[in-house]
Amino acid sequence: MATENKNLSEYDKATIPNAKNLRFGIVVSEWNSQITEGLYEGALEALVDCGAIKENVIRWNVPGSFELTYGSKKMIETQQVDAVIAIGSVIQGETKHFDFVCSATAQGIKDLNVLHDTPVIFCVLTDNNMQQAIDRSGGKHGNKGAEAAVAAIKMAVLGQ
């Protein structure tokens, strides 16, 4: 696995621009909230650690990962943010529903990045089981939310 020997929470602050003057949107799926809340906390902590002001971080909740695209689109259109982080968790089940949700969510977020000048960061875990999701949302592999926050900062600065 790509994350097996990597802690997703580790980053070198010297390589990251200061986020003091940036505004961020974070759209969080309520589905698998144990996982998405961990990802949100990791993202928020990393943003603040890199200089972001908490008042400049806007959080919206949506029901599930499929709805992240619409929530992110509305965030871009109404909140004047420099970057959006879309946080979700889809865990493999017994049906093809997993494949459809993962594909549609990834494509939707990709489409937003093509259509808008505001970057949307894909922070959606697509794991085979709950333990893998736990391991990547603050567990033994660190927190993918922190990694997404670093990407959001870098992409926001790139877009300026």
Q: List active site positions.
A: 97
Q: What are phi and psi of 51, to 5 degrees?
A: 105, -10
Please, what is the Cα angle at 32 between 30 and 33, to 5 degrees?
55
- The residue written with tokens 């420099």 in the block is 82
**CA dihedral sign of residues 98, 101, 104, 105:** negative
Helix (H, G, I), strand (E, B) or coil at 89: strand
Asked if 83 and 50 count as a contact pair (C-beta separation under 8 A), the reply is no
Give the whole-angstrom CA distance, residue 26 versus residue 120: 9
Closest CA to 23 of 160, 158, 156, 159: 156
Closest CA to 70 of 80, 82, 60: 60
